[in-house]
Amino acid sequence: MAEPEWMNEVRALVGKEYGRVYGWDPVNLPMARQWAEIMGIDNPHYASGEVVPPAMLQVWCMEGPQTNHYPPGSTTENPYEVLKLIEAQGHPAVVAVNSELEFDRYLRPGERIYYTTRLDAVGPEKTTALGTGYFVTLVMTYWSQREGGDEKVGQLLFRVFKFRPTQAAQPAAVVSEAEARPAPKRPAPGISDDTRFFWDGARAGALLIQRCKGCSALRHPPGPSCPRCHSFDWDTVRASGYGKVYSFVVMHYPEVPPFEHPNPIGLIELDEGTRLVAQLVGVRPADVRIGQRVLVEFNRFEVGAPGGSDDIVLPQFRPLPETAAAAAASEVR
């Protein structure tokens, strides 16, 4: 299918390099320490202050709370101009789909970092469950300023889908036809040999936590080796199912069927100490509270493509009534 004429302007931008965006501050230990604290990273490797966590790469050149407030000398060009062009043609929605960081080496305190941006690719028109639009890929290259030539230290690939939402674009007659189709099913989770026990457990009505046989540490999400003692031997323990809301988000947009919206998702801290992400049920999103006592329940869902017959049992968490919550808390102590 031939592309619309307005895409010529978009295609002409592919490959364009955008100028430097500088960091406000050099790589420094106070920011690294605060970042590690917020992210829950307690790695003695970083405590010496010789190097900073690689995953902070993007942090050093962020604008801060004020939009488009970059240090003097930074480019005034907008590396996202291509998104404006696509938006002007009736594709208002955007969702980030990939963010891939690559690190060439560790950064050390005192280094001055900047990045440049290249519009790497704009894909052909694609129709997804969300709508019809274009995948746009930008690559940010990070540099350390040095006498005698700046050094590349890492890269960020950032891909977004700029699209026209399915429902908003359809005339009423087409929407009713869409409504007549079988309801979409939940996407199936990726299940590997490392994680199968968890899903099998849920199917049997048990919330299982992986336990290291070397040092007895519990861990979640499941993985092949113990992050504490590196043992590959493990078994599982059955959780009580009680926990509390450690944190949560309420998903408002994009609205992806078959999920209900707004959709409250909890980071649940089990009484055994591990945390897992799960949907909250039986509670209005506005009533979710951090610290709320919750109890697991297991619910079956059909998954996969329409017409498929696969199903999955998901652990979900329901807030306990206040009095029951108090009783459950004392029972655990």
Helix, coil or strand: residue 10: helix
Least distance CB 46 / Zn ion (angstroms): 21
What minimum distance in Å lies between the beta carbon of 250 and Zn ion? 36
Q: Is there binding between residue 231 and Zn ion (CB under 5 A)? A: yes
How far apart (Å, rounded) are the C-alpha atoms in residues 123 and 135? Answer: 5
Strands 234-238 and 131-144, by their bridges, are unpaired
Which of 47, 229, 324, 326 touches Zn ion (CB under 5 A)?
229
- From residue 218, how far is each of 55, 214, 222 by CA, in Å? 25, 11, 10
Half-sphere exposure (CA, 13 Å, Cβ side) for 195?
Answer: 8
Residues 183-212 that bind Zn ion (CB under 5 A): 212
C-beta closer to Zn ion: residue 89 or 225: 225
The single residue among 69, 126, 228, 284 that binds Zn ion, judged by CB under 5 A, is 228
For the CB of residue 218, give the shortest distance to Zn ion in the complex, in Å.
10
Of the listed pieces 163-171, 217-225, 241-249, 257-265, which binds Zn ion according to CB under 5 A? 217-225
- Specify whether the CB–CB gap between 314 and 279 falls below 8 A: yes
Applying CB under 5 A, which part among 195-203, 223-231, 240-248, 263-271 lies near Zn ion?
A: 223-231
Measure the CA–CA gap between 294 and 270, rounded to whole angstroms: 9
User: What token pair was written down for 35?
Assistant: 């970042």
When asked if residue 214 is in the footprint of Zn ion (CB under 5 A), the reply is: yes
Rule CB under 5 A: which of 261-320 touch Zn ion?
none
Sign of CA dihedral 229, 235, 240, 243: positive
Distance CA 145, CA 26 (A): 10
How many whole angstroms separate alpha carbon 280 and alpha carbon 87? 34
Q: Which is nearer to Zn ion, 212 or 312 (CB)?
A: 212
C-beta closer to Zn ion: residue 212 or 268: 212
* Nearest to Zn ion of 194, 297 (CB atom): 194
CB-nearer residue toward Zn ion: 126 or 228: 228
Cross-strand partners of 251: 263
- Is 288 in a helix, a strand, or coil? coil
Q: Which is nearer to Zn ion, 185 or 220 (CB)?
A: 220
Residue 215 binds Zn ion (CB under 5 A) = yes
What is the size of the binding site for Zn ion (CB under 5 A)? 8
Looking at beta carbons only, is 139 or 212 nearer to Zn ion? Answer: 212
Report, in Å, the least distance between residue 332 CB and Zn ion.
24
Q: What CA–CA distance (Å, rounded) separates 264 from 287?
A: 10
| Interacting residues toward Zn ion by CB under 5 A | 212, 214-215, 217, 226, 228-229, 231
